[in-house]
Amino acid sequence: MYYGGVDIGSAYCKCIIIDEEGIVAKALYPVEGNPQVISQKVVKDALAPQKLKVKHVKKFVTTGRNRKKFPLKNEEMTEVTCIAKGTYNLLPSVRTIIDIGAITNKAIKINEKGKVMEYVINDKCASGSGMFLELVAKALEMEVQDLGRNAAQSRNPLSITNQCTIFAESEVIYLVNEGKSEVDIAAGVCNSIAGNLYSLLKRVRMEKDITLTGGVANNGQIRRNLEERLNFELKTFPFDPSYVAAYGAALFAKEMEKKV
Protein backbone atom coordinates (compact mmCIF):
# COMPACT_ATOMS: atom_id res chain seq x y z
CA MET A 1 0.00 0.00 0.00
CA TYR A 2 1.33 3.42 -0.99
CA TYR A 3 -0.04 6.84 -0.02
CA GLY A 4 0.87 10.26 -1.39
CA GLY A 5 1.07 13.75 0.01
CA VAL A 6 1.48 16.69 -2.37
CA ASP A 7 2.15 20.22 -1.11
CA ILE A 8 1.50 22.61 -3.99
CA GLY A 9 2.71 25.98 -2.77
CA SER A 10 3.16 29.31 -4.49
CA ALA A 11 6.77 28.66 -5.50
CA TYR A 12 7.48 24.94 -5.07
CA CYS A 13 5.62 21.67 -5.32
CA LYS A 14 6.69 18.88 -2.96
CA CYS A 15 5.62 15.23 -3.02
CA ILE A 16 6.18 12.45 -0.51
CA ILE A 17 5.15 8.83 -0.97
CA ILE A 18 4.87 6.57 2.08
CA ASP A 19 4.04 2.94 2.71
CA GLU A 20 3.29 1.04 5.92
CA GLU A 21 6.90 1.40 7.07
CA GLY A 22 7.67 5.04 6.27
CA ILE A 23 8.86 7.32 3.46
CA VAL A 24 9.72 5.55 0.21
CA ALA A 25 10.08 8.48 -2.21
CA LYS A 26 10.05 12.25 -2.44
CA ALA A 27 10.60 14.99 -5.04
CA LEU A 28 10.47 18.79 -5.29
CA TYR A 29 10.11 21.14 -8.28
CA PRO A 30 9.51 24.87 -8.82
CA VAL A 31 5.85 25.53 -9.66
CA GLU A 32 6.86 27.94 -12.47
CA GLY A 33 3.31 29.26 -12.83
CA ASN A 34 1.88 25.90 -13.84
CA PRO A 35 0.80 23.96 -10.73
CA GLN A 36 -1.38 21.49 -12.69
CA VAL A 37 1.48 20.23 -14.86
CA ILE A 38 4.24 20.47 -12.25
CA SER A 39 2.26 18.69 -9.53
CA GLN A 40 1.67 15.73 -11.83
CA LYS A 41 5.32 15.73 -12.90
CA VAL A 42 6.63 15.80 -9.32
CA VAL A 43 4.51 12.76 -8.43
CA LYS A 44 5.70 10.76 -11.43
CA ASP A 45 9.33 11.69 -10.83
CA ALA A 46 9.09 10.75 -7.14
CA LEU A 47 7.69 7.33 -8.07
CA ALA A 48 10.05 6.58 -10.97
CA PRO A 49 13.18 5.52 -9.00
CA GLN A 50 11.06 2.99 -7.11
CA LYS A 51 9.63 1.70 -10.41
CA LEU A 52 6.16 2.69 -9.24
CA LYS A 53 3.35 4.38 -11.16
CA VAL A 54 0.52 6.66 -10.08
CA LYS A 55 -1.91 3.70 -10.13
CA HIS A 56 0.06 2.09 -7.30
CA VAL A 57 -0.76 4.98 -4.93
CA LYS A 58 -3.97 4.16 -3.04
CA LYS A 59 -4.80 7.74 -2.09
CA PHE A 60 -3.44 11.26 -2.47
CA VAL A 61 -4.00 14.20 -0.14
CA THR A 62 -3.06 17.66 -1.39
CA THR A 63 -2.27 20.77 0.61
CA GLY A 64 -0.81 24.24 0.01
CA ARG A 65 -2.03 27.37 -1.75
CA ASN A 66 -2.58 25.56 -5.07
CA ARG A 67 -3.95 22.30 -3.66
CA LYS A 68 -7.15 22.51 -5.71
CA LYS A 69 -5.16 22.44 -8.96
CA PHE A 70 -3.89 18.87 -8.59
CA PRO A 71 -5.16 17.00 -11.70
CA LEU A 72 -5.42 13.54 -10.12
CA LYS A 73 -8.16 12.26 -7.83
CA ASN A 74 -7.41 13.39 -4.28
CA GLU A 75 -8.58 14.69 -0.93
CA GLU A 76 -7.62 18.16 0.35
CA MET A 77 -6.35 19.36 3.72
CA THR A 78 -5.24 22.78 4.93
CA GLU A 79 -1.55 23.55 5.08
CA VAL A 80 -1.62 24.36 8.80
CA THR A 81 -3.19 20.98 9.60
CA CYS A 82 -0.69 19.07 7.45
CA ILE A 83 2.31 20.93 8.90
CA ALA A 84 1.10 20.07 12.39
CA LYS A 85 0.54 16.42 11.43
CA GLY A 86 3.96 16.00 9.84
CA THR A 87 5.76 17.78 12.67
CA TYR A 88 4.05 15.85 15.46
CA ASN A 89 4.82 12.53 13.78
CA LEU A 90 8.52 13.36 13.43
CA LEU A 91 9.08 15.57 16.50
CA PRO A 92 6.39 14.73 19.08
CA SER A 93 7.87 17.02 21.75
CA VAL A 94 7.35 20.14 19.60
CA ARG A 95 4.57 22.51 20.71
CA THR A 96 5.24 25.52 18.48
CA ILE A 97 6.05 25.58 14.77
CA ILE A 98 7.23 28.41 12.55
CA ASP A 99 6.53 27.72 8.88
CA ILE A 100 8.35 29.98 6.42
CA GLY A 101 6.61 29.80 3.07
CA ALA A 102 7.20 31.53 -0.24
CA ILE A 103 4.73 34.32 0.55
CA THR A 104 3.49 33.87 4.14
CA ASN A 105 4.97 32.89 7.48
CA LYS A 106 2.88 31.06 10.06
CA ALA A 107 3.29 30.38 13.76
CA ILE A 108 1.35 27.27 14.84
CA LYS A 109 0.80 26.00 18.36
CA ILE A 110 -0.12 22.34 18.88
CA ASN A 111 -0.98 20.31 21.96
CA GLU A 112 0.48 17.06 23.29
CA LYS A 113 -1.65 15.10 20.79
CA GLY A 114 -0.57 17.15 17.78
CA LYS A 115 -3.87 19.04 17.45
CA VAL A 116 -3.69 22.66 16.27
CA MET A 117 -4.67 24.94 19.16
CA GLU A 118 -4.05 28.30 17.46
CA TYR A 119 -2.05 29.90 14.68
CA VAL A 120 -1.20 33.33 13.30
CA ILE A 121 -0.03 34.45 9.85
CA ASN A 122 2.28 37.38 9.13
CA ASP A 123 0.39 40.48 8.11
CA LYS A 124 3.14 42.49 6.41
CA CYS A 125 2.92 41.31 2.80
CA ALA A 126 5.75 38.82 2.08
CA SER A 127 8.14 40.23 4.67
CA GLY A 128 10.61 37.59 5.83
CA SER A 129 9.27 34.96 3.45
CA GLY A 130 11.01 32.78 0.90
CA MET A 131 10.15 35.18 -1.90
CA PHE A 132 11.75 38.03 0.05
CA LEU A 133 14.90 35.98 0.55
CA GLU A 134 15.09 35.14 -3.16
CA LEU A 135 14.76 38.83 -4.10
CA VAL A 136 17.54 39.74 -1.68
CA ALA A 137 19.79 36.96 -3.00
CA LYS A 138 19.25 38.22 -6.53
CA ALA A 139 20.12 41.78 -5.50
CA LEU A 140 23.31 40.49 -3.86
CA GLU A 141 24.09 38.28 -6.89
CA MET A 142 24.11 35.18 -4.67
CA GLU A 143 22.35 31.85 -4.91
CA VAL A 144 19.57 31.81 -2.31
CA GLN A 145 20.93 28.57 -0.81
CA ASP A 146 24.29 30.34 -0.23
CA LEU A 147 22.82 33.36 1.56
CA GLY A 148 22.95 31.88 5.07
CA ARG A 149 26.46 30.46 4.62
CA ASN A 150 27.76 33.81 3.37
CA ALA A 151 25.95 35.69 6.16
CA ALA A 152 27.73 33.51 8.73
CA GLN A 153 31.05 35.01 7.60
CA SER A 154 29.99 38.54 8.56
CA ARG A 155 31.67 40.35 11.44
CA ASN A 156 29.61 43.52 11.10
CA PRO A 157 25.96 42.76 10.20
CA LEU A 158 24.14 45.77 8.80
CA SER A 159 20.72 46.84 10.01
CA ILE A 160 17.83 46.35 7.57
CA THR A 161 15.11 48.69 8.78
CA ASN A 162 12.31 48.23 6.25
CA GLN A 163 9.74 45.48 6.86
CA CYS A 164 7.99 45.74 3.48
CA THR A 165 9.49 43.39 0.89
CA ILE A 166 9.66 46.03 -1.85
CA PHE A 167 11.25 48.69 0.36
CA ALA A 168 13.61 46.19 2.00
CA GLU A 169 14.81 45.06 -1.43
CA SER A 170 15.37 48.71 -2.36
CA GLU A 171 17.31 49.20 0.88
CA VAL A 172 19.53 46.21 0.05
CA ILE A 173 20.20 47.58 -3.46
CA TYR A 174 21.05 50.98 -1.95
CA LEU A 175 23.54 49.38 0.45
CA VAL A 176 25.15 47.44 -2.42
CA ASN A 177 25.50 50.66 -4.43
CA GLU A 178 27.06 52.31 -1.39
CA GLY A 179 29.80 49.68 -1.52
CA LYS A 180 28.77 47.86 1.65
CA SER A 181 29.95 44.28 2.09
CA GLU A 182 27.59 41.69 0.60
CA VAL A 183 28.15 39.31 3.52
CA ASP A 184 27.33 42.08 6.01
CA ILE A 185 24.15 42.89 4.10
CA ALA A 186 23.22 39.19 3.95
CA ALA A 187 23.79 38.92 7.70
CA GLY A 188 21.56 41.95 8.29
CA VAL A 189 18.80 40.42 6.18
CA CYS A 190 18.98 37.07 8.02
CA ASN A 191 18.88 38.88 11.37
CA SER A 192 15.90 40.95 10.24
CA ILE A 193 13.98 37.84 9.19
CA ALA A 194 14.78 36.14 12.52
CA GLY A 195 13.38 39.22 14.27
CA ASN A 196 10.16 38.94 12.27
CA LEU A 197 9.85 35.25 13.14
CA TYR A 198 10.44 35.96 16.83
CA SER A 199 7.65 38.56 16.80
CA LEU A 200 5.33 36.02 15.19
CA LEU A 201 6.19 33.46 17.86
CA LYS A 202 5.28 35.92 20.61
CA ARG A 203 1.89 36.50 19.01
CA VAL A 204 1.05 32.80 19.26
CA ARG A 205 2.24 32.56 22.89
CA MET A 206 5.00 30.13 22.04
CA GLU A 207 5.81 27.05 24.09
CA LYS A 208 8.77 24.67 23.92
CA ASP A 209 9.80 22.75 21.95
CA ILE A 210 9.98 24.91 18.79
CA THR A 211 10.94 24.04 15.22
CA LEU A 212 11.08 25.59 11.74
CA THR A 213 9.45 24.20 8.60
CA GLY A 214 9.56 25.35 4.98
CA GLY A 215 12.44 25.96 2.60
CA VAL A 216 13.86 28.96 4.49
CA ALA A 217 14.32 26.66 7.51
CA ASN A 218 17.42 25.41 5.64
CA ASN A 219 19.07 28.81 6.15
CA GLY A 220 21.46 28.17 9.02
CA GLN A 221 22.07 31.83 9.83
CA ILE A 222 18.36 32.62 10.26
CA ARG A 223 18.09 29.59 12.52
CA ARG A 224 21.07 30.73 14.62
CA ASN A 225 19.76 34.31 14.86
CA LEU A 226 16.39 33.03 16.06
CA GLU A 227 18.03 30.68 18.57
CA GLU A 228 19.99 33.63 19.98
CA ARG A 229 16.71 35.43 20.63
CA LEU A 230 15.11 32.36 22.19
CA ASN A 231 18.19 31.33 24.21
CA PHE A 232 17.72 27.67 23.30
CA GLU A 233 18.17 25.42 20.28
CA LEU A 234 15.39 24.67 17.80
CA LYS A 235 14.42 21.09 17.08
CA THR A 236 15.55 19.76 13.70
CA PHE A 237 13.94 17.29 11.27
CA PRO A 238 15.56 14.11 9.95
CA PHE A 239 15.03 15.37 6.39
CA ASP A 240 14.59 18.62 4.43
CA PRO A 241 11.95 20.69 6.32
CA SER A 242 10.53 21.79 2.95
CA TYR A 243 8.71 18.44 2.87
CA VAL A 244 6.96 18.55 6.25
CA ALA A 245 3.52 19.62 4.94
CA ALA A 246 3.67 17.02 2.15
CA TYR A 247 4.60 14.38 4.71
CA GLY A 248 1.66 15.36 6.89
CA ALA A 249 -0.64 15.13 3.85
CA ALA A 250 0.66 11.62 3.11
CA LEU A 251 -0.05 10.57 6.70
CA PHE A 252 -3.61 11.87 6.36
CA ALA A 253 -3.98 9.91 3.10
CA LYS A 254 -2.95 6.73 4.93
CA GLU A 255 -5.37 7.39 7.80
CA MET A 256 -8.27 8.12 5.45
CA GLU A 257 -7.72 4.92 3.52
CA LYS A 258 -7.50 2.87 6.72
CA LYS A 259 -10.93 4.18 7.80
CA VAL A 260 -12.64 3.10 4.58
More confident residue, 124 or 90: 90
For residue 28, which amino acid is it? L
Q: Do domains 1-91+238-260 and 93-236 have the same CATH topology?
A: yes
Say how far apart CA 260 and CA 225 lie, in whole Å: 46
The residues spanned by each domain of the chain are 1-91+238-260, 93-236
Each residue's pLDDT tens digit, 160-209: 877 666 777 788 889 999 999 999 999 999 998 999 899 999 999 999 99
Which of the listed CATH numbers 3.40.50.620, 3.30.70.100, 3.40.50.11030, 3.30.420.40 matches domain 1-91+238-260? Answer: 3.30.420.40
Output the pLDDT for position 134: 86
Radius of gyration of the chain measured on its C-alpha atoms: 19
Residue 216: half-sphere exposure toward Cβ, Cα within 13 Å? 29
Output the pLDDT for position 23: 97
Output the pLDDT for position 102: 86
pTM comes to 0.94
Each residue's pLDDT tens digit, 201-259: 999 999 999 999 999 999 999 999 999 999 999 999 999 999 999 999 999 999 999 87
Short-list 223, 249, 192, 204, CA closest to 97: 204
Confidence class for position 123, pLDDT limits 50, 70, 90: low
Domain over 93-236 is classified CATH 3.30.479.30: no
Say how far apart CA 140 and CA 132 lie, in whole Å: 12
Short-list 4, 78, 33, CA closest to 251: 4
